[in-house]
Amino acid sequence: MENAAEILVIIVSSVLALFLIVGIILAIYLIKLTAEIRKITKSAQNTVSHIDAAITGVTRLTSPLFVAELFSKYVKKWTSKSSKKGNK
């Protein structure tokens, strides 16, 4: 019976050593994965900030006041051209 117990202890310790090695390897990959995720999130945040700036610019261009100013400029140009044609 002592031989069986010794063999069982050797098998259990070998399996535990194997699980320990696999656990260490997985921990290393997990650390690398979290570093990659940090890089990706920084890149995504940078992209979002650039898109936000572009949307702000487009919003400013399409504001009602800006559109009204453009419309009034075109109306003034059109009326000044038609009044010049009528004077000739």
Tens-digit pLDDT profile for residues 53-73 = 888 887 777 777 777 888 888
Rounded Cα–Cα distance for residues 13 and 3 (Å)? 15
* Higher-confidence position of 85 and 38: 38
8 — pLDDT class (breaks 50, 70, 90): very high
| Alpha-helical runs (H) found in 1-88 | 2-61, 64-87
Q: What is the pLDDT of residue 43?
A: 96
* Higher-confidence position of 34 and 76: 34
Question: Would you say 27 and 21 are in contact if contact means Cβ atoms under 8 Å apart?
Answer: no
Nearest-5° Cα angle at 15, 12 to 18: 150
Q: What is the pLDDT of residue 87?
A: 58
Q: Is 62 helix (H, G, I), strand (E, B) or coil?
A: coil
- Please state the length of the chain: 88
